[in-house]
Every structure is written in C-alpha cells, then in structure tokens.
Amino acid sequence: MDFSVIENVGKTQHPKTYDGHIQYGTAGFRTRATILDHVLYRMGVLAVLRSKAKNAVIGLMITASHNPECDNGVKLVDPAGEMLEASWEKIATELANVNDSDISSTVQRIISEQNISINTPASVIIGRDTRTSSAALANSSIAGITAANGTFKNFGVITTPQLHYLVVCTNTNGSYGDATLEGYYRKLSNAFKSIRGGSPSSDKYVPSVKLDAANGVGAIAAREFKKQLEGFLNIEIYNVANENLNHECGADYVKVQQVPPATVPVEINCRCVSIDGDADRVVYYYVDEKAKFHLLDGDRIATLVAGYFKELLNKSGLNLKLGLVQTAYANGGSTHYIENVLKIPVACVPTGVKHLHHKALEFDIGIYFEANGHGTVVFKDSAIEAIRETSASSDSSTAQKDAASKLASAIEVINQTVGDALSDMLLVETILHANGWDVLAWESSYNDLPNKQVKVKVEDRNVISTTDAERKCVKPVGLQEEIDKIVSRYPKGRSFIRASGTEDVVRVYAECENSTDVEKIAQDVASAVRRLAGGVSLS
C-alpha cells in the first residue's frame, strides 16, 4: 500500500471542497450529493482497510434511501451483512473530514491503531441506487479502493438489501445463497412458491397487490419478482420512473403523511404496498368504503409475523425464545398487543436498524421492525437446526412436522441479512395467505393510537441529546419537562423528540387516544423544540 499515492489521488482528483463537518449517521454519510465526492473516495480507501481488518469482503452501498434525489450517501456493510461497527463510524467520520494533506497520516494511524496487517488481501462489493449522482460517486469509491490496492466487484444498480445479501453470500462461500442477483431472486422466489402450496384457507385472501416503487431501484427488483412469481402473486407496479425519486410516493411519504401516493390507483379495501428509494423499507395500506386511509406499518408487520411464528412454535412443540424489538416510534397500541395479547417479550432500542439487529440477535428468533417499515427476522443457527430437525424427525407428530416445515420455509423467504422491503412483502403475503386474511382481518388484531410526526429545523440539531432509547430528552435542559407537561393533558399521551441521523432536522413524534388531539400535541412539542433548541423556519 503506497500512502503517498492514496493522498495524491485524493488531493488531485477527489479534493475536499466542503469545509463543514460531515458525520457518519444513522445509515452512513448522507447529505447533498454535490459535496460527497471526496467522502466516497475516502470511503473506498476505508472499505479496503476494513476488509483487511476483518479479512473478509466488505460492502459499500451508494444511496440516500428515502431522502430526495438531490441527496446521496454511502454506507459500509460489515462481513456478516451488518451495518458498520459503531467504533468504525468514528473512524469513518474522521477520515471523511481531515484535510487532503492529512489523508496519508490518518490512514497510517488507523492501520496502526486497529492493528491492521496491510498484506491481507482486501475486497469490496459495490452497489448503487438509481440517483443521477450515484454512478459518478461509485467511480470515486472505486478510485479510493484502487489507490489502496484493493479489489472490487461492482454490481451496479441494486437495492440495499441485495448488497447485504451479496456480502453475506460471498463471506459464507455460498452457504446462505449464491452470491449473484439471480441467486437472490431464485432463493426468495422459490421459497415463496414452495411455502405457498395450495389455496388460501379462506377466499378473503386475494393474491394481488399494488406496489409503489418510489421511482427507485426497487422497481427493477419488483419487476423481476413479478416475472418469477407469475401465477402465485400478481404485483401491479407503480412509480417506476427514473425521476421524482421518493417525491410524493414511497414508504416514508406514506408513513409520515398518512396518505396514499396520488399515482397509485387505490381501490376499496385492496392491499397497497409502498417501498422506499433503496427498497429496504415497506409499509402496507388501504382505503375503505368511506375513503378513509388505513396504514399497516412496520409495527403491524412485526405483530403479524410474531403472531404467525408464535402459533407455529406452539404447534411444533419447539421451545425457542421468540422476541420482538421496536423503537420509540412503535405505536403504543402495538406494544400493548405484543406484551399483553401475544405475550412475547419486547425490547426498545434507539432508532437505526443496526441497534435493532444487534438486539434481535439475543433471541433464538428475533423479529425487529421500525414503525417506518424497516426490519426483518433473524434466527440463531441452533434455532434453524432445531426447526429442521423437528420437521424431519420420526419422533414428531404430523402436526408438529407440518408446523416446523412451515417455519423452515418461512426462514428461506426472509432476507435475514437486513430489512428487505420485497422479502418482507413476500413474508407478509405468505402469512396472509396461510391465515386466509384480507387486509381488514390483519388490521383487526389491535387498534393503533392516533399518531403524528413532524420535522423541526433548528440551527444545530446536535444540541439535542436523548436517553432511555431516545424516549427522554436530556438536552436542552428543561425541554423534557415541557414535553411531560404537554402530554399529561391528554389520555394515553406520549411524545418524544430526537435529532435525525439522515436529515438536518429534529423529529417530533406524538400519539394519544383521540385523533383530534394528536396534531395539537405534535405542534405544541414542536414549538417547545423551536423555543428551547434554536428553531429556524423550514425553507
């Protein structure tokens, strides 16, 4: 590794032209695409160092997911498909922000502090979303990888979950699946078709969905699934353009605005699905006879999956620890249902799939979902083994074998490496089909508390500091007392605030018993934030 080459290429071809501080946030670096060239170059270099440190292949995904088209970003993916280890987020932030003339010394320091053997070979898998800026940023990362003497495989335009899948398959020598896009589609489609078997247990279930692809990369993947699942699931795809990414469509828009995209021809009581710009989030919704909009978000998906798995575990006689992980955004109605009706342990962690994923690994079967539709299910190897044994054992009854086989097939439909909008959709469709449910039956399991999210622009969102899985604000001093005072006026009132890790805003969440009050709580809390945390008007 020639440190002077790394520095010179950086200085001359990918110079730092932005003086502000850029931070590795909830899901990597995410900001305006025009200031990211030097960051991508340096992340190419860092991916090589990380690959050497782990002696494994690392993933590099260029996307700003749910953000607008003008933004972009990059996240590094660790060998087991997890988000970059937290201690390396600091390293990434430091390398992204040093002056051009300090690149060489910083890289050398990282090597020495992390005890990296520079002779270890390094390899990076690259993917990017459909943003106009993504191709050039991919080239910047390739320049960094090459300058640091690493090798790379560029998969071009792919979804974020596909990148995670490819990293895991490569690092497990194919035991998780073939490290190709064909392998990804084949694995999920075959599992979906095999578990689906005969007809649904009731004619309420109609095998058809309307899918809003957010004008993003998910449209490409959805088209492929549509082809492979012909005769099993009819996927009508909307919002497939290469422009207007996430604009008035996509999972984030539907979740936050609580309306369907105008571009999706909703029909009464029909299942509609929205995914986000890089296809790692999914929400369902429908409109009833009175034109009322109903959202079935990540909480609903989590409870649907948890109920199905709990029933199969009971029937199979397997004694496996099932748990669910949520964040503060989880609707109080869902948490109450999980704890008191499903009687499944539930944990709350800070926002960011990395936190949920790690917590979920503590269970034999860990279901994790953010309310925004980001989540999956993870299984311990020992749990998978036990499920497979029961499904094949002559000591099991037919009912036990049947339940265990269904669990075994469900494992194959799930992309365990990360939240995957399309794999999650296939899982939801599998369960609705197995239960013979339409969207109303699914929704009838519990009532959501009315809720509202708003964004507040402040001068510096870093003045906000929280604790207790983001449920309590510790700074600015006095803000939590204000929030407590506001929510205490309303039955089942709850609100919290936190600085976004992907947008330059403070997020406010509010819920309470009466829909007429929820807007008032959100606006009152937002005003308190503006007053105490230096609010500025939203441009």
* Closest separation in Å from C-beta 511 to ligand G16: 16
Provide the angle, in degrees to the nearest 10, between the axes of the packed helices 298-316 and 421-435: 50
279 annotated ligand-binding residue: no
Closer to ligand G16 at the Cβ: 122 or 526?
526
65 annotated ligand-binding residue: yes
* Closest separation in Å from C-beta 63 to ligand G16: 7
| Residue 63 near residue 128 (C-beta atoms within 8 A) | yes
182 annotated ligand-binding residue: no
Exposed e or buried b per residue across 83-104, where buried means at least 16 C-beta atoms within 10 angstroms of its C-beta: bbeeebbebbbbbbbbebeebb
499 annotated ligand-binding residue: yes
3-state SS assignment for residue 501: coil
Closer to ligand G16 at the Cβ: 27 or 213?
27
280 annotated ligand-binding residue: yes
Strand partners, 29: 74
Q: Which residues contact 181 (CB under 8 A, 6 or more apart)?
A: 155, 158, 162, 166
DSSP for 199-255, written as a single string:
--SSTT--SEEEEE-TTSTHHHHHHHHHHHTTTT-EEEEE---SSSTTTT-HHHHHH
* Closest separation in Å from C-beta 133 to ligand G16: 16
30 annotated ligand-binding residue: no
Region of 77 (left: φ > 0; alpha: ψ -120 to 50; beta: rest) is beta
Q: What are the φ and ψ backbone dihedral angles of 294, each rounded to 5 degrees?
A: -125, 125
* Closest separation in Å from C-beta 268 to ligand G16: 30
* H/E segment holding residue 363: none
By CB under 6 A, name the binding residues for ligand G16. Answer: 26-27, 65-66, 276, 280-281, 351-353, 370, 372, 374, 500-503, 507
Q: How distant, in Å, are the alpha carbons of 45, 86, 305, 520 from that of 524?
A: 46, 34, 36, 6
Query: What is the residue type of 263?
Result: T
* H/E segment holding residue 65: none
- Set 65, 104, 141, 405: catalytic member: 65
CA distance 191 to 177: 12
CA distance 17 to 34: 10
Q: How distant, in Å, are the alpha carbons of 21, 70, 137 from that of 18?
A: 8, 16, 16
* Closest separation in Å from C-beta 305 to ligand G16: 18
- 65: annotated active-site residue: yes
In terms of Cβ atoms closer than 10 Å to its own Cβ (0-12, 13-18, 19+), residue 207 is middle
Q: How many Å separate Cα 467 from the centre of its chain?
A: 22
173 annotated ligand-binding residue: no
Q: Can you read off the two tokens belonging to residue 259?
A: 């309306």
Closer to ligand G16 at the Cβ: 196 or 374?
374
3-state SS assignment for residue 132: coil
Closer to ligand G16 at the Cβ: 67 or 396?
67
* Closest separation in Å from C-beta 419 to ligand G16: 8
| Residue 278 near residue 65 (C-beta atoms within 8 A) | yes
Closer to ligand G16 at the Cβ: 251 or 386?
251
Closer to ligand G16 at the Cβ: 364 or 424?
424
Closer to ligand G16 at the Cβ: 133 or 502?
502
> Residue 376: how many CB atoms within 10 A of its CB?
27
278 annotated ligand-binding residue: yes
Q: Can you read off the two tokens belonging to residue 139?
A: 């080239």
297 annotated ligand-binding residue: no
> Residue 37: how many CB atoms within 10 A of its CB?
22
Closer to ligand G16 at the Cβ: 434 or 497?
497
500 annotated ligand-binding residue: yes
| Residue 461 near residue 26 (C-beta atoms within 8 A) | no
* Closest separation in Å from C-beta 269 to ligand G16: 28
Closer to ligand G16 at the Cβ: 166 or 404?
166
* Closest separation in Å from C-beta 478 to ligand G16: 23
* Closest separation in Å from C-beta 65 to ligand G16: 3
Q: How distant, in Å, are the alpha carbons of 15, 23, 148 from that of 93?
A: 16, 5, 18
443 annotated ligand-binding residue: no
> Residue 345: how many CB atoms within 10 A of its CB?
14
- Going by the annotation, the residues of the binding site for Mg(2+) are 65, 276, 278, 280
Positions marked catalytic: 65
- Going by the annotation, the residues of the binding site are 65, 276, 278, 280, 370-372, 498-502, 507
- Going by the annotation, the residues of the binding site for substrate are 370-372, 498-502, 507
